[in-house]
Amino acid sequence: MLGVGAYRTRNRPARNELLPLPIGEMSWALTDHQGRSVRPKDWAGRPVMVFFGFTWCPDVCPTTLSDISLWLEDLGADANRLIVALISVDPERDTPVVLADYVSNFDPRIIGLTGPAEEVAQAAADFRVTYRRVDKDGGDYTMDHTAGVFLFHPDGRFVSIIDFHEDRRFAVPKIRRTLS
Amino acid sequence: MNHFLLAAALILSASAAMACETVTIGDLTVEHAWSKATIGAGRPGVFYVEITNTGSTDNALVGIATPAAGMPMLHETVVQDGIASMPHAMSIPVPAGQSVQLSPGGYHGMLMGLTNALKEGDSFPVTLSFEKAGEVTVNVDVLSLRAEGPDCADAGQ
Ligand SMILES: [Cu+2]
């Protein structure tokens, strides 16, 4: 793991500032919806698709996960090696158990990831994702967050983002390009 | 005419249910009202609908009310610099001769303070208030969390 430590600094130099790091250079440690620990190195050699969201989100998140489920059905067994992960930006409410309940509504290949606030912040920094808590009346809150779907090649290289309002028909060909 | 086919067609149209009902008030047609199931009552629900203004006067949806939620509100999902947020929409324009959709990723009713969890197959009423046409109540079908919209024979999508 030599070299990884160098990327732990939040205010890292402006190297490709807006692009997500290659998976192998990321340094978060999260827990999946079944309680297993997941680190970037566990994804080595696999194509990766990641979306940031939270389970209290009524519109953007279920819409994106419905779309992702349709894409996965379209891709069929070709997508079986694809890592597909929802990373929660609301770890305070999204425990592994809550995430398990939530992802069970979508394609079974989608995993949920959560963890301590610092690790979620580290993941967001590694993916160049923004999120912020927005307080509502009565103590309730919601989260603003980057809504794109990130695609990575099996060698860990960032490939592209499927934007939230992008024509969804282009998504499947984009994903296909990451699979080989 | 094959009676089996006829019976099957009747059952199908019955199961398409209330999301496919059309309600009119003045020049406005309100249809395809649907919602998504929620996990528990703690999370907000969502409300989608399609409104068509066949008249020559601009109108606007200015509020919603429902016994299903303590704090229903109009929202608009906005994506700016790739970041999604859901600001409160004071009013949703329904211009003369146009259709407006409250649909995933855009305008939606946000149902905060749910009385009960919304379960797939349930339905509940929502009263829409318009700037110029008064109020109208529609029945909302609860579809699955994965649903992308109701399956109506005449639905655009
Ligand atoms: Cu909302």
Q: Does B89 touch chain A (CB under 8 A)?
A: no
The percent of residues in chain B predicted with pLDDT above 70, rounded, is 86
**Cα-to-centroid distance, A78 and ligand 1 (Å):** 35
Which pLDDT does position B19 carry in this prediction? Answer: 78
Does residue A1 have a pLDDT over 90?
no
Distances (CA, A) of A53 to A13, A168, B50, B61: 27, 18, 27, 29
Sorted by where each starts, the structural domains of chain A and their CATH numbers stand as 29-179 (3.40.30.10)
Tokens describing residue A65 = 């996960």
> Mean pLDDT, chain B, as a whole number?
88
Flag if B44 and A56 touch (Cβ within 8 Å).
yes
Q: How far apart are the C-alpha atoms of A76 and A71, rounded to whole Å?
A: 9
Q: Tell me if B32 sits within 8 A of B150, measured CB to CB.
A: yes
Q: Tokens 């990451």 label which residue?
A: A178
Model confidence at A15, pLDDT cuts 50, 70, 90, reads very low
Distances (CA, A) of B59 to B2, B25, B77, B98: 46, 12, 21, 10
Model confidence at A18, pLDDT cuts 50, 70, 90, reads confident
Specify the range with the lowest mean pLDDT, choosing from A106-120, A154-168, B103-117: A154-168
Which pLDDT does position A167 carry in this prediction? Answer: 83
Q: Give per-residue pLDDT as tens, A71-110.
A: 999 999 999 999 999 999 999 999 999 999 999 999 999 9
**Cα-to-centroid distance, A133 and ligand 1 (Å):** 14
CATH architecture designation of domain B2-143: Sandwich (2.60)
Model confidence at A61, pLDDT cuts 50, 70, 90, reads very high
Tokens describing residue B108 = 């939606």
Does residue B138 have a pLDDT over 70?
yes
CA B117 to chain centre: 17
DSSP H or E run through A58:
none
Flag if B83 and A145 touch (Cβ within 8 Å).
yes
Residue range B116-137: average pLDDT? 96
Closest-CA distance of chain B to residue A39, Å: 25
Residues across chain B: 157
Which candidate, B49, B69, B60, places its Cα nearest to that of B118? B69
- Tell me which chain B residue has its CA closest to the CA of residue A68: B146
Does residue B133 have a pLDDT over 90?
no
- Count interface pairs A-B at CB distance under 8 A: 81
Which pLDDT does position A17 carry in this prediction? Answer: 58
Q: How far apart are the C-alpha atoms of A88 and A51, rounded to whole Å?
A: 9
Residues of A in contact with B39 (CB under 8 A): 55, 98, 101-102, 105
